[in-house]
Amino acid sequence: MKIVMLGAPGAGKGTQAAMICEKYDIPHISTGDIFRSNIKNGTELGKKAKEYMDQGKLVPDELTIQLLLDRVAKDDCKNGYVLDGFPRTIPQAQVLTEALAKTGEKVDFAINVDVPDENIVHRMSGRRSCPKCGASYHTTYIPPKREGICDVCGAELIQRDDDKPETVKNRLSVYHEQTQPLIDYYEKAGVLKTVDGTKDKDEVFGDIVAILG
């Protein structure tokens, strides 16, 4: 069972990916983790990736695919895996499709966790965190007992830059431009399944399990 997770930043696809992996006992593969482990282990591919990352550049698709294929060839992936954060663009999806086809494999499900932009802006811009002890809050869903003050250590809560509404809106526009076309790509391939990400996370997970069977 090879699964690709799709959804805007803040849609909750990472949470769902982790729950899928736990239930079906398959690995959760994110390109960020692959980069970090290859760099840490000093592999040839890791050294190449590090050169790009050190210059603040995106790792090219060819190299990312090489790292990914190297990862999914490991024993723990023989029953399947969940890809999170990859592919992000149509060229990446095409290269992945071609690479899998060489071994007679394919993506079985592309699960799109669908959440309207305004919900995501509300979800992310309401996040607050404690710079001292790391506790997390949300102005609507998990408010602190005293506004702006951490329940645990009493420090003043902060809003991270990438949770500010204008930043979230920018990230969403990049997502719609680059990643939204993947939804059409996987729909044409007949493997796209969309779930309503505005529901409670356990309900969303129930819908995903019903799809995966």
Are the C-beta atoms of residues 171 and 165 closer than 8 Å to each other?
no
171 catalytic? Reply is: yes
DSSP 18-34: HHHHHHHT--EEEHHHH
36 catalytic? Reply is: no
146 catalytic? Reply is: no
Find the catalytic residue in 48, 132, 164, 171: 171
Compute the distance between CA of residue 77 and CA of residue 27 in angstroms, rounded to an integer: 7
Q: From residue 155, how far is each of 139, 148, 150, 199, 211 by CA, in Å? A: 16, 9, 5, 32, 44
Give the number of other Cβ atoms within 10 Å of residue 95's Cβ: 19
128 catalytic? Reply is: no
Closest residue by Cα to residue 68 from 54, 49, 50: 49
Closest residue by Cα to residue 82 from 91, 92, 72: 72
Residues comprising the chain, all counted:
213
Owner of token pair 């998990």:
142
Find the catalytic residue in 2, 13, 71, 123: 13
40 catalytic? Reply is: no
Strands 136-138 and 127-129, by their bridges, are antiparallel
Amino acid, res. 20: I
Are the C-beta atoms of residues 152 and 130 closer than 8 Å to each other?
yes
Find the catalytic residue in 2, 71, 123, 127: 127
Find the catalytic residue in 2, 88, 123, 128: 88
DSSP state of 111: E
Catalytic residues: 13, 88, 127, 160, 171
